[in-house]
């Protein structure tokens, strides 16, 4: 059998398999067709909804991916700085031992130099004694003779010593192991591709495994701290809202307050926008404000501020939108705080249940 024929046969078999359940259209009732059409429409609508969610997710993923990329980039630079500091320290220690060696050798030459000139002076004095005293006493001659004998032997000793240590220099020999081990590395670190499971099972049981108390008071706090919200940042830094002192405080990994920023009024809530950015709600009378803050090098940096004609209490960030709760309403906003829609309103209540998400 030739190849072309084989292909044709194969196609026919496949075709017949696909058509096994095919029913001729004219054998079906209009009702059946409409019913199937309705079913497929529902499936398409569901599918469309899922696609839309997936597209929204994908855009968010791109943003998170970019944030994590920038974060990793920053960490490489931090690590490089750390290595630079280690090298700086090593260089300093090496130069210190060079200085020590230089000083020691220099001092010993200077000492030899001094000894030589002292003996020279001694010899000069010996000659002067001869010149001045035409007829010296026996005693004087004896002393001069003894001294010069001593000085001659001292001169011999120092000359011998200097001949041994003649013309010293210092040279540097680098540590070849050091260079070799550095060349062996192909990079200063590795990367891990992580997948964060966003949708957790709602039945998951959360248990408190540990409780430790930390002092988050700063000296200028005038009231007892009242912590209303918390956000964890990368590098395990933590931002907390102090309602009573109208402050946002940054804690380091050891839960120590490393910096704080004053807010115009008491803050209500905070949510994370990106790995280094948060949004904070503030309410003043009937009006509200959302402030964006970011953390850079252990410092809190104030960003954009948006004002609203309603109170701003609870805030959440999800799928590229901000959700802000006033006392009785829940609003959906874009990230630049343009209103998308009012999602919910409960005018029967007065600011009780609409605070949290």
Contact footprint for ligand NAG (CB under 6 A): 118-119, 122, 147, 150-151, 154, 349-350, 352
> Between 85 and 120, whose beta carbon lies closer to ligand NAG?
120
> Taking a C-beta distance cutoff of 8 angstroms, is the pair 288, 310 a contact?
yes
* Helix axes of 138-164 and 30-132: crossing angle, nearest 10 degrees: 160
> Between 151 and 274, whose beta carbon lies closer to ligand NAG?
151
> Taking a C-beta distance cutoff of 8 angstroms, is the pair 351, 317 a contact?
no
> Taking a C-beta distance cutoff of 8 angstroms, is the pair 300, 291 a contact?
no
Smallest distance from the beta carbon of 316 to ligand NAG, in angstroms? 23
> Between 54 and 157, whose beta carbon lies closer to ligand NAG?
157
CA distance 148 to 27: 141
Q: Which of 109, 211, 216, 111 shows the shortest CA–CA distance to 165?
A: 109
Q: Which of 301, 330, 296 shows the shortest CA–CA distance to 313?
A: 330
CA distance 174 to 275: 43
> Between 154 and 252, whose beta carbon lies closer to ligand NAG?
154
CA distance 333 to 321: 6
Q: Which of 324, 326, 280, 316 shows the shortest CA–CA distance to 300?
A: 280
Smallest distance from the beta carbon of 343 to ligand NAG, in angstroms? 21
Distance (Å) of CA 271 to CA 19, 24, 236: 55, 58, 16
> Between 296 and 350, whose beta carbon lies closer to ligand NAG?
350
Return the structure tokens found at 202.
Answer: 């709602």
> Cβ neighbours of residue 79 under 8 Å, at least 6 residues apart?
188, 189
Alpha helix stretches (DSSP H) within the chain: 3-18, 30-132, 138-164, 176-184
> Between 35 and 150, whose beta carbon lies closer to ligand NAG?
150
Smallest distance from the beta carbon of 131 to ligand NAG, in angstroms? 19
Smallest distance from the beta carbon of 349 to ligand NAG, in angstroms? 5
Residue with tokens 């252990």: 298
Smallest distance from the beta carbon of 281 to ligand NAG, in angstroms? 20
CA distance 312 to 355: 9
> Between 151 and 276, whose beta carbon lies closer to ligand NAG?
151
Smallest distance from the beta carbon of 146 to ligand NAG, in angstroms? 7
Residue with tokens 């290595």: 83
> Between 147 and 332, whose beta carbon lies closer to ligand NAG?
147
> Between 148 and 294, whose beta carbon lies closer to ligand NAG?
148
Task: Give the number of other CB atoms < 10 A from CB of residue 251.
Answer: 21
Smallest distance from the beta carbon of 173 to ligand NAG, in angstroms? 38
Smallest distance from the beta carbon of 283 to ligand NAG, in angstroms? 16
Quick check: helix, strand or coil at residue 347? Answer: coil
Smallest distance from the beta carbon of 232 to ligand NAG, in angstroms? 33
């Amino acid at each position: 059998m030739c190849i072309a024929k084989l292909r044709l046969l194969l196609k026919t078999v496949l075709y017949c398999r696909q058509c096994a359940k095919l029913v001729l259209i004219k054998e079906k009732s209009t009702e059946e067709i409409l019913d199937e059409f309705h079913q497929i429409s529902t499936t398409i609508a569901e599918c469309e909804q899922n696609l839309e969610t997936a597209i929204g997710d994908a855009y968010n993923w791109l943003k998170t991916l970019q944030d994590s990329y920038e974060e990793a980039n920053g960490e490489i630079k931090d690590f490089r700085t750390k290595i630079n500091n280690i090298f700086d320290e090593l260089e300093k220690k090496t130069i210190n031992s060079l200085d020590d060696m230089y000083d020691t050798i220099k001092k010993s030459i200077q000492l030899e130099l001094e000894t030589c000139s002292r003996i020279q002076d001694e010899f000069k004095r010996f000659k002067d004694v001869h010149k001045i005293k035409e007829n010296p006493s026996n005693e004087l001659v004896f002393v001069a003779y003894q001294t010069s004998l001593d000085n001659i032997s001292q001169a011999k000793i120092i000359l011998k010593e200097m001949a041994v240590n003649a013309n010293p220099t210092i040279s540097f020999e680098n540590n070849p192991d050091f260079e070799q081990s550095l060349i062996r590395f192909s990079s200063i670190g590795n990367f891990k591709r992580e997948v964060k499971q966003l949708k957790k099972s709602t039945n998951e049981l959360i248990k408190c495994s540990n409780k430790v108390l930390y002092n988050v008071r700063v000296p200028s706090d005038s009231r007892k701290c009242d912590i209303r919200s918390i956000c964890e940042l990368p590098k395990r830094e933590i931002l907390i809202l102090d309602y009573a002192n109208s402050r946002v405080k940054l804690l380091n990994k050891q839960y120590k307050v490393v910096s704080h920023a004053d807010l115009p009024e008491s803050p209500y809530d905070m949510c994370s926008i990106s790995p280094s950015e948060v949004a904070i709600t503030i309410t003043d009378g009937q009006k509200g404000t959302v402030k964006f803050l970011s953390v850079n090098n252990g410092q809190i940096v104030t960003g954009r501020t948006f004002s609203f004609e309603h109170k701003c209490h609870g805030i959440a960030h999800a799928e590229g939108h901000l959700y802000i709760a006033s006392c009785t309403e829940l609003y959906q906003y874009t990230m630049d705080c343009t209103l998308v829609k009012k999602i919910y309103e409960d005018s029967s209540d007065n600011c009780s249940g609409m605070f949290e998400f």
